[in-house]
Amino acid sequence: MDDRFDVSGRTAFVTGASRGIGRAIALALAEHGADVAINHNAAFDAEVGFPDAAKELVEEARSHGVEAFAIEGDLSVDGAILDAYDRAVSALGRVDILVSNANIQIPLAFEDVTAEQIDLQCRMNYRAPIQLLQRALPPMAERGWGRVLTVGSVQQANPTIELAVYAGLKSAQYNLVMNLSRQYVKSGVTINNLSPGLIDTDRNRFLQRSEADWQATIERTSPMGRAGLPDDLAGAALLLCSNAGSFITGANINVTGGGDLPWS
């Protein structure tokens, strides 16, 4: 193992981690030595057919010789994000690496999005990350080392019509990353954003109404000719969460198969 990517002795809290991108990042951190606390929403996991996802992830993470804990909580509920963070600190002792991944998409035509759906996305996708960073950043700075990674989206710069609210909030999140990275630039804490393109996860089922629709989406959004996999995000995340990324802050890294480029 390249020592620059070794996070042994570090502790990580990953939100929205039982499935998909969050799971891949949490496992990468565990494989490289970090103790991990993974947040998940048990009711939603069960609703989409993965009731044991968090338990299975904890077991797999522990197989790498690290400590791992499941932190249940619906982060759209008032106060839930701070409660989840505090429970992660209680389990881990501290949080050195924070991955803010939990979010919600509601794909609808702009005119059809209700006030309640707007509020839900704002709570989950923007207010919760703000509150989490308010709680997590000061102790990282006091210790002189920390890694913060927010998971954004190619939508923040290249929005699709069904995700107007989601895309706008992802853009706001990256603006927050740039602002905070300037504030903490001399503290030993780096703050970065990772933007996936089209990733083959269960949340993107709305794009898979038929195999023909899915292939058309791939052709339209991924010049590489395939959808990404959650593991395609793990390497970039590990870079930004380890000493290998110590001179990177305020950055947005696209993992899109070229989907963010201005192809003619």
Q: How far apart (Å, rounded) are the C-alpha atoms in residues 20 and 146?
A: 24
Q: How far apart (Å, rounded) are the C-alpha atoms in residues 39 and 264?
A: 41
Report whether 169 contacts 100 (CB < 8 A): no
Q: pTM of the prediction?
A: 0.94
Domains of the chain: 3-255 (3.40.50.720)
**Residue from 213, 99, 232 nearest 162 by CA:** 213
- Give the three-state DSSP class for 261: coil
For residue 70, what is the enclosing H or E element?
Answer: strand 68-72
Please count the CA atoms within 13 angstroms of the CA of 180 that sit on its side-chain side: 27
Looking at residue 104, its amino acid is I
Three-state SS string over 78-103 comes to: CCHHHHHHHHHHHHHCCCCEEEECCC
DSSP assignment of 8-22: TT-EEEESS-SSHHH
**Residue from 65, 83, 164, 70 nearest 117 by CA:** 164
| Cα dihedral value 70, 54, 122, 250, nearest 10 | 70
Question: What's the confidence (pLDDT) of residue 221?
Answer: 81
Ordered per-residue pLDDT tens for the chain, 264 residues: 468 999 999 999 999 999 999 999 999 999 999 999 999 999 999 998 999 999 999 999 999 999 999 999 999 999 999 999 999 999 999 999 999 999 999 999 999 999 999 999 999 999 999 999 999 999 999 999 999 999 999 999 989 899 999 999 999 999 999 999 999 999 999 999 999 998 888 776 655 667 888 788 787 888 888 888 999 999 999 999 999 999 999 999 999 888 888 753
Report whether 195 contacts 153 (CB < 8 A): yes
How far CA 61 is from CA of 35, 115, 132, 187, 218, in Å, comes to: 9, 39, 23, 30, 31
Q: In this structure, what DSSP letter does residue 228 have?
A: B
Question: What's the confidence (pLDDT) of residue 222?
Answer: 82
